[in-house]
Amino acid sequence: MAAKKNEQHPLRIEGYGSAGEGVARLEGQAVFVKGALAGEICQVQLLKVGKSAAWGRVTQVLTPVPGRQSPDCPRYPRCGGCQLRHMTYAEELRFKRQKVQDALQRIGGWTGRVEKIHGAEAPDRYRNKIQFPVADGPRVGFFRARSHEVIDAEDCLLQPLAATRLREAFKLWMERYQVPAYDERVHGGLIRHFYVRVNQRGQSLCAVIANGTDLPHQEELVQALRRAEPDLAGVVLSVNQEKTNVILGKTHRCLWGRDYLEDTLCGLTFRLSVPSFYQVNREQAEVLYGRALAFAGLTGRETVLDLYCGIGTITLVMARQAGRAIGAEVIPAAVEDAKANAARNGVTNAEFLCADAAQAAQTLADRGLRPDVICVDPPRKGLAPAVIDAIVQMAPQRLVYVSCDPATLARDVKRMEEQGYVLQRAEAVDLFPRTAHVETVCLLSKLKY
């Protein structure tokens, strides 16, 4: 007899899905169980039953495993920021390594083994950028899981305490002066998000994202934020009057102080404006880029091409051990930041192109450039077929692939194998502890015929 919605069954959890949910089987059908751990027996209520799978929730843990812990955040799991606070960190790392392994095997057809996962020394308070959505109340916090409902959050274990103090001062300013929050349903109100960025030295940069070109009681806001955080470097207004889910606006105006921070990564100094892309976990980013550099196998003579280079972080890290490094990025402001970062660090063997990855790769291929190593760090959607074609045309000996999505990575590994490249090594790096996200760095080498 087929399973039905709202039925309860005792189920043995056999493994994990890609989002960290437990996976069991019932009458030959996969059941995805949020909050369950591999190896446990749980009483599960079925919430949805489809033709090929079902989804449920734990109503009672009948046989727990050592990897279970009591969540240490009062808003978990209502808040959508974390997915894994019911796991010990050791169990979380085991899940993430297996997530990468499963994707590479099942989707990519790889028969090798993920060598290791690099866990974080500090799995809490690691985020150097926080974007708080704002709603009527005012509520300044985070979205409830799978919704746009804002949960007011006086603190978050993923963010630095400077962000906690600045958020409180910002909320009190909204309350005192009755500053209206933005309402996306009617495109009315003013305050959309409050943004905080913190560098290694503890300096902060704030931005108010507003549905307008000015703020009421602007001076009072600046003074309140400065009192809350003495190491505040600047306050920026980001104007976003579009009907969009994109957070930042296209124009930014400095209200006080300066509109950037500087931070050090892998011994290099980077200038970070409000829209600059920068890994949110600086310490683990150093591990990730260090592994990418090791996989590149540079001796000081090679030409390296870095696609999706952003503000030039990986390009400049590679340039110090290469003969020549070329970075490509589609966002003009990021390219200008990358050039400035190269000059700031005295790197003279790096150059940057403003083009999307496919255009840049094709342009360089048309010029007859034959890089020894290509490094890619694409967005979650992975590599477009045109990018893969251009990479294959340039025929590098080694391809270093940095990925934030194991599934698209595995798909691209399979595509590259069809073009004569074989996956040699893979390691995982945990840049986002307590969430289901994981980074991977892979080395693919060209087969010699």
- Provide the annotated active-site residues: 404
Q: Report which residue type is found at 332.
A: P
Torsion of Cα atoms, 218 then 222 then 223 then 225, to 10°: 130
The pair of three-digit structure tokens given for residue 169, joined into one six-digit string: 């001062």
Helix intervals (H) in 320-384: 332-344, 357-366
Please check whether residue 275 is in contact with residue 329, taking contact to mean a CB–CB distance below 8 angstroms. Answer: no
Phi-psi region of 61 (alpha: psi -120 to 50; beta: other; left: phi over 0): beta
276: phi then psi, degrees, rounded to nearest 5? -60, 135
- In the sheet with 15-16, reading across from the earlier edge strand, the strands are 8-12, 41-49, 53-63, 29-34, 22-26, 15-16
Please check whether residue 183 is in contact with residue 189, taking contact to mean a CB–CB distance below 8 angstroms. Answer: yes
- In the sheet with 129-135, reading across from the earlier edge strand, the strands are 150-152, 139-143, 129-135, 191-198, 204-210, 232-239, 251-257
Closest CA to 67 of 107, 96, 45: 96
**CA pair distance 116, 325, nearest whole angstrom:** 28
**CA pair distance 192, 212, nearest whole angstrom:** 10
52: phi then psi, degrees, rounded to nearest 5? -120, -10
Look at strands 117-118 and 421-429 and give their pairing: parallel
The pair of three-digit structure tokens given for residue 257, joined into one six-digit string: 């102080």
The pair of three-digit structure tokens given for residue 394, joined into one six-digit string: 């340039």
Taking CA atoms, 40 is separated from 3, 13, 44, 64, in Å, by 21, 5, 11, 5
**CA pair distance 319, 322, nearest whole angstrom:** 5
CB atoms within 10 A of CB 316: 28
**CA pair distance 55, 21, nearest whole angstrom:** 10
**CA pair distance 31, 39, nearest whole angstrom:** 14
